[in-house]
Amino acid sequence: MEFSRVVARRRMVRRYRPDPVDPAAVDRILDVARAGPSAGFSQGQSFVVVTDAGDRAAIARLCGEAQWVARGFEPWLSRAPVHVVPCVREADYHARYARPDKARSPGPAGWHVPWWWIDGGAAMMLLLLATVDEGLGAGLLDVGDPGPLRRLLALPADVAPLGLVTIGHPAAGDPGPARRRPRRPRGEVVHLGRWGAGAPA
């Protein structure tokens, strides 16, 4: 699919048809997601893929899906046939910058932002866009306290889950409240040369 079309079509999908997703499509999506950038090519991003219905139901439980369903929402999580939990491992960055070819770099101690989170976000975005490119839909949500998810997925102590991405065939219906508000205009978010010099809308 044309890149601009992929970007334009992407939105968080919270309703799915129950049809399974072709495992080959999931593999292709993950190959795109792991092709992103990382500081020093540390490659601290990883992905836990969950398709087992019992495990997906367990994730839905620990994310409080039942309370949302009781309030009239769709069972977003348990119905999505594929869950992906993107993770980052800070230790990979420290190990990378301890290598001889990085001896002249201040590394993580000198960074103004912890790049492992940013790189995780880049991987997340690729995951969402690759899903659209496969003709599927994806939704991202914050899982709150990561402890229960960490235990369920047997994550090592130094691996941090970023959130939960659901993947599946989008069901027809309400796209949700997100798109009832327009995006902020270009002139408000793009600054030309100096902050406050807005680009034409």
Ligand X SMILES: Cc1cc2nc3c(=O)[nH]c(=O)nc-3n(C[C@H](O)[C@H](O)[C@H](O)COP(=O)(O)O)c2cc1C
Give the single-character DSSP code of 12.
B
140 binds ligand X (CB under 6 A): yes
What the block records as the tokens of 198 is 């807005």
11, 34, 61, 94: which one binds ligand X (CB under 6 A): 11
- What does the buried/exposed string (b/e) look like for 171-199 if buried means 16 or more CB atoms within 10 Å of the residue's CB? beeeebeeeeeeeeeeeeeeeeeeeeeee
118, 141, 152, 171: which one binds ligand X (CB under 6 A): 141
Question: In 10 A of CB 89, how many CB atoms?
Answer: 20
* The one segment of 26-34, 54-62, 66-74, 139-147 that binds ligand X by CB under 6 A: 139-147
68 binds ligand X (CB under 6 A): no
Amino acid present at 22:
D
Smallest gap, in angstroms, from Cβ of residue 137 to ligand X?
A: 10
Query: Half-sphere exposure of 178 toward its Cβ, with a 13 Å CA cutoff?
Result: 11
12, 32, 57, 125: which one binds ligand X (CB under 6 A): 12
Nearer to ligand X, 77 or 97 (CB): 77
Beta bridge partners of 87: 46, 161
52, 101, 142, 145: which one binds ligand X (CB under 6 A): 142
What is the rounded CA–CA span in Å between residue 46 and residue 103? 26
Nearer to ligand X, 48 or 94 (CB): 48
Nearer to ligand X, 80 or 97 (CB): 80
Residues that bind ligand X (CB under 6 A): 11-12, 14, 140-142, 163, 178-179
